Amino acid sequence: MTYAFRTSSAIMALGFGMFGLAPAALAQTVVDFTVAEYSSKTGPYFQEVASAFEAANPDIKINIQVVPWDTLLQRLTTDVAGGTAPDISIIGTRWLLDFADQGVAEPIDSYLTPEFKGTFIDTFMNPGIIDGKIMGLPVAASARAMMVNMDLYDAAGAAPPTTWDELYEASKKIAALPDTFAFGLQGKEIETDAYFYYSLWTHGGDILNADGTSGLNSPAAIESATLYKTMIDEGLTQPSPTNYNREDVFNLFKQGKVGTIFTFPMLVPQIKEEAPNLRYQILPFPEAGAKATYGVTDTLMMFADSDAKEAAWKFIEFAYGDANREKFDVGEGFLPVTKNVAALPYFNEDPDVAGFAAGLPYAKFAPVIANWEEIADVTVRTMQQIYLGEVTPEEGLAAAAAEVNKIRGL
């Protein structure tokens, strides 16, 4: 290679850089999009959507950051505090109020056309409305349900329960089987409180009373906590629930050692992959006076200080196309948030999905209130104290209700 050739190629490269690529790069709007990692499929999926969008809109570049759920809130907090917030992000809907209160979230009413708005299922739109303004779009939804191991129920000669009394009686029979636990009770870490709400709601109680005070010391709450404690004491749950987080309980179920658990749709693909021979059934929560399920949504939020709102919104509309949504919901095991996807045969005929979707008409959502994380933590701590026998359900729940009211300033 001669000296002259090298020089000329360097000049050529410079030339390409200046006249070929640089102008395009200068005109490009960059949209930073923080994506919560639901599974190993999440990152590649959004990357694919972004590539398709960029091909159609060469002037916009979508910059995707995949962040695990455990660190997402902390990450966004430090990003906002440091002035480097993304343009759009997936967040837990329970955080939305804090984001809206602090003026971090951008109301999207002015961007949302009536046609686009009409594609969403209203139930899932509602949690994103704060003070009459739409602060975000539902991006993922799930409802919870009861999952039973039919082999264990058959072996014990019990029928899948529809009421708490039936669950209790069936659990006694299943617990008598060797090396088997009747009821998987979660006792630590994320959503330990949700496991209690399932029981609280189906006993007719609620997290907050109509006047906004804590509903934790209602008769329904005491009854449901007492029932869990009784089941622990009588050996109907796995021993020492306070050592079992959500995944631990689900793992016991996958191993075929637990008769009944309360779970989310995302467990179905896991079971199909890891325990294909497990004979399970998805059923509504047992009742004791009320029907309920826990509806959980995640929100796609736009940041108020974004400088690429138009481009970001264009991408959002693209990403909510039916084909994209179908791929996302099916791949991650979510319930559809848009009407067109909900009408697809898969979501109505597949017994697993239909089993979870059945609860949607009476789904309850976590209240959109300030300091929700702290209130949930009070509930978790109280449930752990009750499970460990450190306090009675009456004492524990009364103290918890007082503490929640104090946090709420009531």
Partner 1 sequence: MAKKAHISIPMLMVLPSLLLATGIIGYPILDLAWTSMQEVSRFGKLQGFVGWENFAEVFGDPLFYASLWRTGIWTGAVVAGTLLISMPVAMILNDDFYGRGLARVLVMLPWSISLTMTAVVWRWALNGRSGLLNATLMQMGVINEPIEWLAEASTAFTVEILVGILVSIPFTTTILLGGLSSMPQDAYEAAVVDGATGWHQFRYITLPLMKPFINIAIVLNVIYVFNSLPIIWVMTEGGPANGTDILVTYLYKLAFRFGQLGKASAISLIMFGVLLVFTLLYVVLLSRNEADAAPEDEVKGHDE
Amino acid letter, residue 205: G
**Region class of 389: left (phi > 0), else alpha (psi between -120 and 50), else beta:** left
Pick from 39, 51, 243, 348 the residue near partner 1 by CB under 8 A: 243
Q: What x-and-dash track marks residues 36-75 binding partner 1 by CB under 8 A?
A: -------------------------------------xx-
Contacts with partner 1 in 367-386 (CB under 8 A)? 371, 373-374, 377, 380-382, 384-385
Distances (CA, A) of 170 to 105, 146, 156, 252: 48, 14, 8, 18
Q: Which is nearer to partner 1, 63 or 78 (CB)?
A: 78
Tabulate helix, strand, coil % of the chain (nearest 5).
50, 20, 30
Q: Rule CB under 8 A: is residue 408 a binding residue for partner 1?
A: no
Q: Which is nearer to partner 1, 37 or 377 (CB)?
A: 377
Q: What x-and-dash track marks residues 211-240 binding partner 1 by CB under 8 A?
A: ---------------------------xxx
For residue 156, what are its two tokens?
């014990």
Q: Which is nearer to partner 1, 42 or 238 (CB)?
A: 238
The per-residue DSSP string of 226-255 comes to: HHHHHHHHTT-B-S-GGG--HHHHHHHHHT
* Residue 325 CB, nearest approach to partner 1 (Å): 31
Q: Which is nearer to partner 1, 48 or 374 (CB)?
A: 374
Q: Kindly state the DSSP code that residue 18 receives in the 8-state scheme.
A: I
Q: Which is nearer to partner 1, 79 or 223 (CB)?
A: 79
Between the CA atoms of 385, 387, 389 and 390, what dihedral angle is there, to the nearest 10 degrees?
-10
Sign of CA dihedral 220, 221, 222, 225: positive
The bridge status of strand 363-365 relative to strand 258-263 is unpaired
Contacts with partner 1 in 86-105 (CB under 8 A)? 98, 102, 104
- What are the residues whose beta carbons fall under 8 Å from the beta carbon of 204, sequence distance 6 or more? 220, 288, 289, 290
* Residue 105 CB, nearest approach to partner 1 (Å): 11
What are the backbone dihedrals phi and psi of residue 142, each rounded to the nearest 5 degrees, phi first?
-145, 155
Contacts with partner 1 in 302-361 (CB under 8 A)? none
Q: Rule CB under 8 A: is residue 390 a binding residue for partner 1?
A: yes
Q: Rule CB under 8 A: is residue 248 a binding residue for partner 1?
A: yes
Residues contributing to the site for partner 1 (CB under 8 A):
73-74, 77-78, 80-81, 98, 102, 104, 187-189, 238-243, 248, 251-252, 371, 373-374, 377, 380-382, 384-385, 387-388, 390
